[in-house]
């Protein structure tokens, strides 16, 4: 069931103004009315919110649907972010998570339903109307709002251009000339951001029978498109960015004057909510950003979006309180950010933002690599043996660490406890005069010393550290609290400190 608090929370997120530094001008902020939210299939297990954004000036209505297939999260995430946009003309009707049951199960079809019966995007027959559930509710939206367009956001497993078995990276439009012309414009906009020719978008004609897009055009005369990104070799933030750009281009072409950039992804400014951006660009370990997101979202009071290098370079950090760099490779994450992205991150923290680095993200926060951000006056020692191994290792609280991080964790009543470790940095105080000294929060007591790493280096060094940086704050964990049962609260407590004010 969708709890009232959740709906209220969503409304608060959407209705709040975005910070001034985002891409929206004050004029656009003021023209944004609070969206209305209705609940589709209310009272059933499948109930899901529908957002209605109305512009001050008349214009076309566009329905945007995400999350029809539960194993295609990028459409759902993009649609969720689009609910924070403003438009100057017309109306946007957005259903970000059409099939909540399948999304929760992370599978294509609704759990417990066989074959096409569980495939929400095969429930729109060309003879007769869907009579129940979300399919009927979505069809009802077309009847109620009489949109000019319906756009359905999906993703395929491979690039259609090089593997025709998949529809990944394509725009599939209804059999209509205007739709064809518009599809070409959308493709031109997204292709301009793609370097690899084999990853460019293809235009395909006529959505599959049984789909919402096919029925919308053939039965209701509503022009339609299915937009497909590609899961293969693209992080979630990359696919979401492509979806946003395609939808933004469509709205612009239709004269709806969407908020000036497709980089407004803001979780808003709801009171008592920490807005967290988790980096998932290249250099992020497989599954690391997803794990981090679910651990952080599992704690109360956090709204999490995943972002990549291009998002950082486009200035999205101004919409967040804290940026998180998870495990993987520090140097590769630095490369994905690029010189400009790294400068943006440093400026973000200097101006009052929070930085949380875990393992690779801790290397990235250090001061002694030519690619590191230098947010903490900490240098990594024994760099030659960075592959010192993976395993469980003993750590001890410092009194500051216990005060800042322990609450709500299984280590709250203990002094020494185990934490997962995977080739994290070994820190020593740095020698950067302009930076304040770091404070240790955890100290290694045990050790991992494999692959030729000498023994005795790791014990007594700081395993987690924090410091102020300009107006902002930075914290780094060498080990992995997010991968250790009972220690997830450490990350939540770190966000609370990072989002706080002052020294
Ligand atoms: Zn799909």
Q: What are the tens digits of pLDDT across the range 408-423?
A: 999 999 999 999 999 9
| Cα of 367 from ligand 1 centre, angstroms | 44
> In terms of DSSP bridges, do strands 89-95 and 57-66 run parallel, antiparallel, or are they unpaired?
parallel
- Entry pTM: 0.88
CA angle 145, 148, 149 (to 5 degrees): 100
| Cα of 438 from ligand 1 centre, angstroms | 48
What pLDDT, on a 0 to 100 scale, did the predictor assign at position 10? 41
Task: Identify whether the C-beta of residue 309 lies closer than 8 Å to the C-beta of residue 344.
Answer: no
| Cα of 165 from ligand 1 centre, angstroms | 14
More confident residue, 299 or 93: 93
Q: Span 302-331, mean pLDDT?
A: 95
Per DSSP, helices labelled H in 168-272 are 177-191, 212-220, 236-253
Range of weakest confidence among 129-138, 165-174, 181-190, 331-340: 129-138
| Cα of 467 from ligand 1 centre, angstroms | 45
What pLDDT, on a 0 to 100 scale, did the predictor assign at position 395? 98
| Cα of 121 from ligand 1 centre, angstroms | 8
| Cα of 50 from ligand 1 centre, angstroms | 19
pLDDT of 5 > 50? The answer is: no
Indicate the SS3 state at residue 149: strand
- Tell me if 30-253 shares its fold with 274-498: no
Q: What are the tens digits of pLDDT across the range 56-88?
A: 999 999 999 999 999 999 999 999 999 988 999
Measure the CA–CA gap between 206 and 218, rounded to whole angstroms: 10
pLDDT of 12 > 60? The answer is: no
| Cα of 198 from ligand 1 centre, angstroms | 21
pLDDT category at 117 given cuts 50, 70, 90 is confident
| Cα of 232 from ligand 1 centre, angstroms | 14
| Cα of 374 from ligand 1 centre, angstroms | 42
| Cα of 245 from ligand 1 centre, angstroms | 18
pLDDT of 1 > 80? The answer is: no
pLDDT of 270 > 70? The answer is: no
Indicate the SS3 state at residue 76: helix
| Cα of 153 from ligand 1 centre, angstroms | 8
Task: Identify whether the C-beta of residue 124 lies closer than 8 Å to the C-beta of residue 139.
Answer: yes
Distances (CA, A) of 170 to 62, 162, 186, 251, 278: 20, 12, 10, 18, 27
pLDDT of 461 > 60? The answer is: yes
| Cα of 155 from ligand 1 centre, angstroms | 6
More confident residue, 502 or 153: 153
| Cα of 287 from ligand 1 centre, angstroms | 21
Class of domain 274-498: alpha beta
Strand segments, DSSP code E, in 89-239 are 89-95, 149-156, 170-173, 202-205, 223-230
Name the CATH superfamily housing domain 30-253: Zn peptidases (3.40.630.10)
In this structure, the chain runs to a length of 503
- For the four alpha carbons of 454, 456, 459 and 465, in that order, the dihedral sign comes to negative
H or E, element range at 14: helix 4-15
| Cα of 120 from ligand 1 centre, angstroms | 9
What pLDDT, on a 0 to 100 scale, did the predictor assign at position 259? 82
Range of weakest confidence among 31-40, 86-95, 328-337, 414-423: 31-40
Measure the CA–CA gap between 356 and 21, rounded to whole angstroms: 22
| Cα of 154 from ligand 1 centre, angstroms | 4
Measure the CA–CA gap between 76 and 359, rounded to whole angstroms: 29
CB atoms within 10 A of CB 212: 28
Q: What are the tens digits of pLDDT across the range 205-236?
A: 999 999 999 999 999 999 999 999 999 989 99
| Cα of 261 from ligand 1 centre, angstroms | 26
Measure the CA–CA gap between 13 and 18, rounded to whole angstroms: 10
| Cα of 48 from ligand 1 centre, angstroms | 18
Q: Span 282-286, mean pLDDT?
A: 95
DSSP percent split of the chain into helix, strand, coil, nearest 5: 35, 25, 40
What pLDDT, on a 0 to 100 scale, did the predictor assign at position 400? 97
What pLDDT, on a 0 to 100 scale, did the predictor assign at position 30? 47
Q: Where do the structural domains in the chain lie, given as residue ranges?
A: 30-253, 274-498
């Amino acid at each position: 069931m969708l709890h009232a608090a959740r709906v209220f929370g969503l409304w608060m997120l959407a209705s709040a103004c975005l910070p001034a530094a985002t891409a929206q001008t004050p004029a656009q902020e003021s023209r944004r009315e609070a969206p209305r939210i209705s609940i589709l299939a209310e009272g059933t297990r499948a109930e899901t919110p529908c957002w209605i954004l109305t512009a001050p000036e008349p214009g076309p209505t566009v329905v945007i649907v995400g999350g029809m297939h539960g194993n295609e999260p990028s459409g759902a995430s993009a649609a969720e972010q689009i609910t924070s946009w403003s438009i100057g003309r017309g109306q946007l009707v957005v259903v970000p998570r059409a099939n909540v049951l399948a999304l929760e199960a992370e599978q294509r079809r609704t759990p417990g339903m066989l074959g096409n019966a569980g495939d929400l995007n095969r429930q729109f027959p060309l003879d007769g109307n869907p009579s129940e559930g979300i399919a009927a509710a979505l069809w009802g939206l077309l009847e109620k709002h009489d949109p000019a367009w319906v756009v359905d956001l999906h993703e395929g497993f491979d690039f259609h251009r090089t593997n025709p078995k998949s529809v990944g990276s394509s725009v599939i439009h209804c059999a209509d000339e205007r739709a064809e012309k518009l599809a070409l414009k959308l493709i031109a906009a997204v292709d301009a951001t793609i370097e690899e020719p084999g990853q460019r978008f293809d235009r395909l004609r006529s959505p599959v029978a049984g789909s919402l897009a096919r029925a919308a055009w053939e039965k209701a005369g509503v022009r339609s498109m299915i937009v497909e990104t590609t899961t293969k070799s693209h992080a979630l933030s990359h696919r979401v960015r492509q979806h946003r750009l395609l939808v933004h281009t469509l709205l612009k072409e239709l004269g709806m004057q969407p908020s000036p950039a497709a980089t407004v992804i803001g979780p808003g400014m709801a009171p008592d909510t920490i807005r967290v951006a988790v980096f998932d660009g290249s250099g992020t370990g497989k599954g690391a950003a997803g794990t981090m997101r679910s651990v952080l979202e599992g704690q109360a009071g956090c709204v999490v979006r995943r972002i990549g290098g291009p998002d950082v370079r486009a200035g999205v950090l101004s919409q967040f309180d804290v940026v998180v760099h998870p495990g993987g490779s520090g140097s590769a994450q630095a490369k994905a950010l690029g010189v400009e992205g790294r400068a943006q991150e440093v400026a973000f923290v200097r101006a009052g933002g929070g930085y949380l680095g875990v393992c690779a993200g801790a290397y990235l926060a250090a001061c002694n690599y030519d690619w590191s951000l230098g947010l903490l006056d900490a240098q990594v020692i024994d760099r030659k043996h960075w592959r010192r191994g993976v395993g469980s290792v003993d750590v001890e609280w410092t009194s500051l660490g216990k005060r800042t991080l322990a609450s709500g964790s299984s280590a709250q009543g203990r002094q020494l406890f185990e934490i997962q470790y995977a080739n994290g940095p070994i820190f020593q105080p740095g020698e950067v005069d302009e930076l304040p000294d770091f404070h240790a929060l955890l100290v290694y007591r045990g050790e991992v010393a494999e692959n030729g790493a000498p023994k005795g280096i790791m014990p007594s060094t700081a395993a987690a550290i924090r410091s102020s940086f300009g107006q902002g704050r930075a914290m780094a964990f060498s080990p992995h609290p997010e991968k250790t049962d009972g220690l997830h609260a450490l990350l939540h407590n770190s966000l609370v400190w990072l989002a706080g004010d002052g020294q």
